[in-house]
Amino acid sequence: MGAYRSTGEFQRDRNYITSRITADGRDGYPVEPGRYRLVVSRACPWASRAIIVRELLGLQDVLSMGVCGPTHDQRSWTFDLDPGGRDPVLGIERIQDAYFARFPGYERGITVPCIVDVTTGQVVTNDYAQITLDLSTQWAQFHAPGAPQLYPEALREEIDEVNDLVFRDVNNGVYRAGFAGSQEAYAAAYTRLFDRLDWLSERLSTRRYLVGDQITEADIRLFTTLVRFDAVYHGHFKCNRDKLTELPVLWNYARDLFQTPGFGDTVNFDHIKRHYYEVHRDINPSGIVPLGPDLSGWDLPVAPRI
């Protein structure tokens, strides 16, 4: 997942397979209905982005989806939710098999989300940030009628700016706090995280969505961290100045998205909790999964938004 600097700061490995599936097929992977399979885990926030985007754009019949279980070992994510522990389309037990089919002995992270070429059984890309942008832009001819513009050209510069800040301080910020190797590194990440959450609260106090007057890629990227905040990040990653439920603007904003089709109906809190508490044994050696917190509040009515 990453490495540590001498200061104890967690540094995420951001080297991914950057091949792209495009309308013109310039990387050798043209957009084709039924050719590719999106592989995800509902536990993973980076994969959850792709799940949501696929739902919102109505690509379910064009791009199939395989779902790995919430836990994994050092080798790979596994298809333990499927009969016989084998993906019914790819015919493999571990997603690493698709990586090794293209790159024998692949040594970087075996991550989700990834997209696999069903015709060859080989992974195409695991570049999670680019995957969702390409689903919006390169797969446009297959979007459902009335599908939202999640990455509209007129807003892209602002979306990119917000996404960069949110990734640095929030999406990756919770990991920088949770995996910090020193008190100083943890304190720095903790401070940056809550400073950014305060900034987001102020921004969203005068608007319904992060950029423009519609749901965009920026909202999706923030949501997948917020929805995990009280369930895992507050306790497991020691991000405990406030719970999300104690930040009124962000809590109302997150519930607004959660109750929007394509968001909350893709969330599995059991998978989320089991992944973090069972897999991260360096942080939680016992592997015990907490019974709380009470997550029923996600269905509470949303206050009128701007």
Residues with catalytic function: 44, 175
| CA separation for the pair 288, 286 (Å, rounded) | 5
What does the block give as tokens for 38? Answer: 């999106």
Q: Which residues are bridge partners to 72 per DSSP?
A: 77
Quick one: 22 exposed, middle or buried, by C-beta within 10 A (0-12, 13-18, 19+)?
A: middle
Report whether 38 contacts 52 (CB < 8 A).
no
Q: Is 77 annotated as a binding residue?
A: yes
Amino acid letter, 127: D
Instruction: Round to whole Å and give the CA distance between 223 and 244.
Output: 11
Measured between alpha carbons, how far is 262 from 258 in angstroms, rounded to an integer?
8
Q: Is the peptide bond before 293 cis (omega within 30 degrees of 0)?
A: yes
Of 246, 236, 256, 282, the closest CA to residue 43 belongs to 236
Which positions make up the binding site for glutathione? 77
Which positions make up the binding site? 77
